[in-house]
Amino acid sequence: MTIIEAILLGIVQGLTEFLPISSSAHLRIIPALAGWNDPGAPFTAIVQLGTLVAVMLYFRNDIILIGKAVFDGIVRRKPLATPEAKMGWMIAAGTLPIVIFGILFKTEIETGLRSLYWVSGALIGFALLLSIAELKVKKRLRTGLSLSLIEDIGWKEALMIGLAQSIALIPGSSRSGVTITGGLFLNLSREAAARFSFLLSLPSVFAAAMLQLYKTWGDISSSSESATTLAVATLVAGLVGYGSIAFLLNYLKDHTTTIFIVYRLAAGVAVLYLLFTGVLQP
């Protein structure tokens, strides 16, 4: 991988990790269109460290408050005494499904599920699911019912959104996309669903990146070129990702996710067309 490729893939990762359009799909599709080698699942997981740092910086105050509250709650034997402590445990509960499914289907995630047929199917299928969730939210608002805030998330909501997050193991589904969709089905506001989605990503993205770093460290450390390109892609992903978080949270305050639904449908159909015409290989 050249430095130019690393920079471009870092930009793609940073832009698409938090927007509900799937970073893993774009990191699979764009190299295929450009005639580059598939960077692979390990590259995707490691570069996510950049976007992980972006989340930690953007939500640094929330993370500090949550961490302190969880620790105090354990010491005082009142683990759910404050909203911040409760949020910490909800994040932990929501992380369990993706850990379980990630271990069970590890081989498929890194091989067969990276087929562009799976990617295009996920782009289209979960766009339709997100559109159904949007219709549900609009109907609720039309009837005068309110939407829930992030503080209203309990065990049921955390586990259900966590199950939705585990679907993001399929390239093309989008971690933020499926978790926001899950939140909307559970009557969360768009902003609350996105905010919880970002916080929920912290443990799983960190664990996946550390695992891949451990497994591939021998290859990375043996080549200064590999280490450099990986570092460049990760840094660029973090810088661009920080801006993506700010954009999406502000955008969802006053807008629906329609633009992302249309984009996913168009991208999925375009990839299928390129596959059927032989321009791309699955």
Residue 219's pLDDT is what? Answer: 67
Give which of 81, 80, 182, 75 is closest to 126, Cα–Cα.
182
Q: Which helix (H) or strand (E) holds 266?
A: helix 258-276
Residue 266's pLDDT is what? Answer: 95
Both tokens of residue 78? 């009142």
CB 6 within 8 A of CB 229: yes
In this predicted structure, the answer to whether residue 228 has a pLDDT above a threshold of 70 is yes
Q: Which residue has the higher pLDDT, 113 or 278?
A: 278
Both tokens of residue 42? 């390990």
Mean local confidence (pLDDT), 130-150: 92
In this predicted structure, the answer to whether residue 273 has a pLDDT above a threshold of 70 is yes
In this predicted structure, the answer to whether residue 256 has a pLDDT above a threshold of 80 is yes
Sketch the domain layout of the chain as residue ranges: 3-276
In this predicted structure, the answer to whether residue 220 has a pLDDT above a threshold of 70 is no
Continuous H helices in 17-59: 23-34, 40-58
- Rounded to whole angstroms, how far apart are CA atoms 226 and 2? 9
pTM of the complete model: 0.87
CA–CA distances in Å: residue 250 to residues 197, 228, 254? 15, 34, 8
